[in-house]
Amino acid sequence: MSAPILAVRDLRVYFEIRSNEGWLSKPQTLRAVDGVTFDLLQGETLGVVGESGCGKTTMARAVLGLVPVTSGEVLFGGKDLAHLDAGEMRAQRQHLQIIFQDPLASLDPRMTLGQIIAEPLRSFFPKLTASERQAKVVEIMGHVGLLPEQINRYPHEFSGGQAQRIGIARALILRPEVVVCDEPVSALDVSIKAQILNLLSDLQERFGLSLLFIAHDLASVRHASRRVMVLYLGKVMELAPWKDIYRTPLHPYTQALIQAIPPADPKRARSNPVKPLGGELPSPISPPSGCVFRTRCQHAIERCSLEVPLLRPVGESLVACHLAEQIQAASA
């Protein structure tokens, strides 16, 4: 088993927000990330899934020091990133990079492809000469499938898939160890999605990257990751190897997520149509007591409203559900 390259411990990100009641009312607390703990292992891809508002993006940004952490630890290379000052954090950033969801929105339209990809080098290695920089840019362009003659083109001249390749090149030029992929294929067309997913797995192998792969659909995560973490209202519901998540999901929320995905198979769709999860996502300002999922859970019992379920091992999975054993027995 490989060692963790990044260890996140009880990470919390709370935002103070003003309520609608007026300027003088007490600010309320929005719990975007509420006690998340996990390890990212050396060379693995850890998938992170959950619906909009589950805190997956905020969690990733907190790991990179892009939003202030309320409490908890982000351990990387013997340091706690959550408690570094701005200068020390900046020095660490070359080891931790991010790829964004909307490729065109994340590229400066006034910069050429070459300038965009070289920018991280300019800020972290200002002593490099122009030709050394150029050589590195051309090399990484080759790795992501861009042609050297495209170096002076502008972002608007590229399609979404190619723009995402530019974003990947920019993230990888510093040879980071950890890359956060924040929904890197959600905005892309189907035929391009597969190209980018395959490219990411090739690059991971070549550079030995450890990836935190965020997505809202389990299907793209399945092709990228061996282990998957399921978030709901800022908390980890289940963290397990992909095959267990898919075959024997133990948390009722994970089950609901899997049943919500329509299979690309009309016969199966007719015999077993998608089952929508009832109810609405509760507000992260006033989450339910006890288990945050209980208001939408078909198995909920009284204990679920009284006692917060801890993330605990059941088989090879980590599950935050009081009833995980019963659910496991029922599905076996």
Q: Which is nearer to another protein, 257 or 321 (CB)?
A: 257
DSSP alpha helix (H) spans, the chain:
56-63, 86-93, 113-124, 130-143, 160-172, 190-207, 218-224, 242-247, 252-259, 266-271, 302-306, 324-331
CB nearer another protein, residue 275 or residue 303: 275
| Of 254, 180, 289, 231, nearest in space to 53 by CA | 231
Whole-angstrom Cα distance, residue 24 to residue 173? 49
Q: Cβ of residue 256: shortest distance to another protein, in angstroms?
A: 6
Q: Nearest distance from residue 79's CB to another protein, in Å?
A: 35
Type of residue found at 90: R
Burial (CB < 10 A; 0-12, 13-18, 19+), residue 22, is exposed
Nearest approach in angstroms of CB 255 to another protein is 11
Residue 175 or 247: the one with the smaller Cβ distance to another protein is 247
Q: Nearer to another protein by C-beta: 239 or 277?
A: 277
CB of 226 to another protein, least distance (A): 10
State the minimum distance, in angstroms, from the CB of residue 284 to another protein. 13
State the nearest-atom distance from the C-beta of 87 to another protein, in Å.
39
Residue 187 tokens, joined: 């905005």
Q: Decide: 224 and 213 in contact? Cβ < 8 Å.
A: yes
Q: Smallest gap, in angstroms, from Cβ of residue 280 to another protein?
A: 6
Q: Is 73 exposed, middle or buried (0-12, 13-18, 19+ CB in 10 A)?
A: middle
Task: Provide the token pair at 80.
Answer: 């706690």
Q: Which is nearer to another protein, 52 or 298 (CB)?
A: 52
Q: Which is nearer to another protein, 91 or 274 (CB)?
A: 274
Nearer to another protein, 109 or 262 (CB): 262
Residues that bind another protein (CB under 8 A): 51-52, 159-162, 189-195, 197-198, 201, 216-220, 222-223, 243, 246-247, 256-269, 273-277, 280-281
- Nearest-angstrom CA–CA distance, 320 and 172: 35
